Structure 1
Amino acid sequence: MTFGLRLQGRIFCAVSLVLLLALLAGFKAEPGRELIAVGALVLLLGVPHGSLDVVVARRLLGLTGIRAWTVFSLRYVGLAALVVGLWWVAPTVFLSAFLGFSALHFGADPEAGVAWPTRALYGGAVIVLPALCHGAELQRLLGLVAGPASAAFVMPALRLLAAPWLCATVLACLLEARRSPLAATELAALAAVSTAAPPLVAFAVYFCAMHSPRHILRTLPSRQAADARRALAMALWPTVAVFIAAVGAGLLASEMPLETWVLQLGFVGLAALTLPHMALLERVRRASRPAPPGQ
C-alpha cells in the first residue's frame, strides 16, 4: 500500500471519528441543508472519479483513434442508458441490482491482501448497516429513489441482515488487525459511521472521503506530474458532459420536489455510471491477466 493510499485511509478514519464525536455531542444538520450538502459533495467528487475511466481505457486498453473511442463511448453510454431504462420500467429490479452491484464494487476499496469475506462485509456496510438504527429513514430515502413499493420490497432483507452483518464485521476487524491494522481501522470506521450516522451522511462520508479519492489515487499515473496533469485533462470532458446533463435533467424535472429530484438524479445517475464503470474494470482485469502456460 503506497504512502498516498495510507494517508488517504488515515484521513478517512479521522473524518469518521470527527463525525462520530459530533453525533455524540448532539449535532444534527437541518434536513434541507444536509440534502444540498450531500448532493453537492457526491456530484463534485463522484463525477470526476468516474470520469477517470477514459484514462483507464487509454492507458490499459490502448484505445487510440476516433473509431476506437467512438465504439468505447457508445458502449459506455449504452450501458448507462440501459440502467436508466431499467429504473423507469422495473424500479424494484433496478433497486435490488443497484444495491448488490454497489456492494460488489465498494468491496474493491480495501488494500491488496484483504480476504474476500472481509471485502464482502466492507462493500455492503454502507448499504446494510444503516438499517440497524435508521431503518425508517433508509426506507424513506430508497422510496424516493425507486418508489415506496420497491423500498418496501428490499427493506425486510436489509433489516434481517443488519445485526448479523455488524457482528461479522466486528469479527473481521479483529482478525484483519493481525495482518493490517490500517485496513481493520478503515473497516471499523466505515461500520461505525454506517451504523450511527444518518444514511445520507454516512454515504457521503464514505463516498467522498474513501471511495472516490481512493479510486483517483489508484488511477492517476504516479511516475510523473506531467502524466497526472494529462490524465486530469482527459477526465475534464466527461465531467463537463455529465454536469451539463445534470443541469438539463434539473430543468426537465423543475416541478418535482427538491429532495426527490436530488436523490433520483444522484443515485440513479450513480447507478447508471456504475455498470459501465464496473464493466470497464472487469475488462481491464481480464486484459491484464497473464496468459496460461503454453499460449
Structure 2
Amino acid sequence: MKRKRKRFYEFDFTYRLSKLVGSNWAYGVDIEISDSRSASLTLPEHVTTMQLARIEHQHSAGVTAASLAVAAASVFGFDASSKWTLALIVVATAVIGVPHGGLDHWSGRDLLQDRIGAWWVPTFFGVYLIVALSVASGWLMAPIFTAVGFFLISAWHFGMEDEDELSDLPYWSRHLVAVAVGGLVIWVPSVAQSERMSELLQLTVPSQMLSVADIMSVTQMLASILLPIAVVAIGRQMRTGSRTAALRNLALVILFAVADPLISFALYFCGWHSVRGLRSLAVKHRKTAIDLALATAPMTLGAIAFASIGWYVAATSSEVPAATIRTLFISLSAIAVPHLLLHGPIAKSLNHLRGSSAQTLELAR
C-alpha cells in the first residue's frame, strides 16, 4: 500500500509539472510528454523534478489547511474590521502579489524581442499601459460590462493554471471548466454572501454609477450556471487521480462560502495563485528566490510604501474612506487585465505563430 501510494504521488505531481513550468517552451524549459502518465523535464540546476513536485504538493496541502482554518475561525466568530482587512490585503499584495505580476516584462521580452528587436520595450509597455488605462476608464464609463468582464477573464486565468488536467476535454469545454473552477472565488461569495459582496462592489463602483444591483444580478446568473459545472469538475478530479487538487478546491469552496470575501480573496490570490506564479517564473527563467526578490525590489518597496500609507489612514480614521478602497481595487484591476491577457491569449497566439514559423523553416531546410 505504501509503495502504491508513493507511485501515485510521483505520477500525480510529476505529470502536473507540465503546467507548473508553463506551456511556453520559449522560456528555456523543455518538456516532452510521451503519454498521459509520463513526462521528461529539464529544470534549472537549483531544483529537480521531484523537489518541485514535493513543493507543489506541500503548497497545495498548506493552502487546504489554511483555508479550513480560516473558515473555521470565521464560523466561530472571528470578524476582522474593515481597516484591518484592508491592511492585510494591501500588505500581502505588496509583498507577494506585486512580484507575481511585476515581472511581466520578462515574459514580454521573451515573446517580442526575437520578432522586433529593441522595439519590444516601447511596444510592450505602450500596449500594457493602454490596456490598463482602458480598464480604469471602463470602471467609470461602463461599470457593469467592466465588472463582469473582469470577473470572467480573472476566472479563466485562475482556472487555466491547471490546464493539464483539462487537456483531454474538448476545446470549449476546457475553457468553460476553467472559468467555472477558477472563478469559485467569485461565484461562491456572490451566492453565499451576496449582501457583503454588494457592499464591496458599492465601494468599488463610482458613486454616480449606481449599478451594483445589476452587476450582482449578472454575476449570480453566471454563478447559477457555472457552480454546477465546477461541482462536476471537482468530482472529475477525484475520479481521475487529482485528489490533492480536488481537496484543495473543496476547502476553498468552504472558505469562500463562510469567510469575509476580502480575507478569502487575499488567502487565495496571495497564498495560492501568486506564490504559484512566482514559482513558475523561477523555473521558466532559471532564477532563485533571491533573484526574484532583487528583480522586484523597486516595485515591492513602492507597494509597501503605499501599504504603509493605507495602514496609517485606516488606523487614524474611524472608517476606511470609500475612495481609498475604490482607488485600490480599480488600480489593481487595471494592472491585472494586461497581466491576464499576456499570460493567456497573447502568449498562446505568439507562441503558436512562433511554432508555425519554426515548422515552416524546418520544412524549407
- 1:169 and 1:10 map into 2 onto residues whose CA distance is 20
Superposed CA offset, 1:21-61 (max 9, x none): 21233222233322322232234322111102122223444
1:53 is matched with 104
Q: 1:101 corresponds to which residue?
A: 153
From 356, 359, 362, give the equivalent of 1:291. 356
Partner in structure 1 of residue 140 of structure 2: 88
- Counterpart in 2 of 1:141? 200
1:184 aligns with 2:246: yes
2:346 & 2:225 partners in 1: Cα distance?
34
2:356 counterpart letter in structure 1: A
The alpha-carbon distance between structure 1 residues 86 and 244, as it changes in their structure 2 partners (threshold 3 A), is farther
What SS does the corresponding residue of 1:80 show, helix, strand or coil? helix
Partner Cα distance (1:245, 1:24) in 2: 32
Deviates most, 173-182 or 87-96:
87-96
Tell me, yes or no, if the aligned pair for 2:139 and 2:206 is still in contact at 8 Å: no
Which whole-Å CA distance do the structure 2 matches of 1:62 and 1:248 have between them? Answer: 38
Return the TM-score normalized by structure 2.
Answer: 0.69
Alignment of structure 1 residues 185-200 onto 2, 5 Å? 185-200=247-262
Shift of 1:232: 4.2
Once the two structures are TM-superposed, the CA of residue 130 in structure 1 deviates from its matched residue by 0.5
Which position in structure 2 is the counterpart of 1:11? 62
Aligned to 2:25: none
What are structure 1's unaligned runs of at least 5 residues? none
Looking at structure 2, the residues matched to 96 and 163 of structure 1 have their Cα atoms a distance apart, in angstroms, of 14
**Larger Cα-atom Rg:** 2
- Code of the aligned partner of 1:235: T
Equivalent residue of 2:283, what SS? coil
Range with bigger deviation, 26-35 or 285-294: 285-294
Bigger mean CA deviation after superposition, 65-74 or 179-188 = 65-74
Specify whether residues 216 and 157 from structure 1 end up closer, same or farther in structure 2 by C-alpha distance, changes over 3 A only: same
Structure 1 residues 270 and 248, CA, compared in 2 at 3 Å: closer, same or farther? same
Q: What does 1:34-49 align with in structure 2 at a 5 Å threshold?
A: 34-49=85-100
- Alignment partner, residue 208 of structure 1: 270
Change (3 A) 1:275 1:51: same
Task: Look up the SS of the partner of 1:29 in the other structure.
Answer: coil
**Are the counterparts in 2 of residues 108 and 119 from structure 1 also a CA contact under 8 Å?**
yes
Q: CA deviation at 1:202?
A: 1.5
The counterpart of 1:151, out of the listed 200, 206, 212, is 212
Corresponding residue of 1:275: 337
Q: Which one is further off, 237-246 or 185-194?
A: 237-246
Aligned equivalent of 2:73: 22
Structure 1 pair 225/89, CA: closer, same or farther in 2 (3 Å)? closer
**Alignment CA distance shift 1:50-1:61 (3 Å):** same
Do the aligned residues in 2 keep the contact of 1:103 with 1:120 (CA within 8 Å)?
yes
Secondary structure (helix, strand or coil) at the match of 1:109 reads: helix
Q: Which residue of 1 aligns with 2:124?
A: 72
Which of 228, 236, 243 does residue 297 from structure 2 map onto? Answer: 236
- Tell which deviates more after alignment, 10-19 or 103-112: 103-112
Task: Name the CA distance, whole Å, in 1 between partners of 2:305 and 2:295.
Answer: 17
Alpha-carbon distance in 2 for matches of 1:36, 1:76: 27
SS state at 1:108 partner:
helix
What percent of counterpart residues are identical? 26
Change in 2 beyond 3 A, CA 1:69/1:236: farther
User: Deviations 1:226-282 (Å, cap 9, x if unpaired)?
Assistant: 6x64454333344456667889999xxxx9x63423422332122111221123223
Distance 1:85 1:243, change over 3 A: farther
Select between 133-142 and 182-191 the one with higher mean Cα deviation. Answer: 182-191
Q: How far is the alpha carbon of 1:225 from its aligned partner?
A: 4.8
Aligned to 2:11: none
In structure 2, relative to structure 1, the CA distance for the partners of 1:37 and 1:259 (3 Å cut) is farther
Question: Which sits farther off after the overlay, 34-43 or 98-107?
Answer: 34-43
3-state SS, counterpart of residue 28 of structure 1 = coil
In structure 1, the partner of 2:178 is: 119
Q: CA deviation at 1:157?
A: 2.7
CA RMSD across the alignment: 3.2
- State the alpha-carbon separation in 2 of the partners of residues 40 and 31 from structure 1: 14
Tell me the distance in 2 between the aligned counterparts of 1:261 and 1:174: 42
Question: 2:148 and 2:304 mapped to 1: Cα distance?
Answer: 27
Q: Which amino acid aligns with 1:12?
A: V
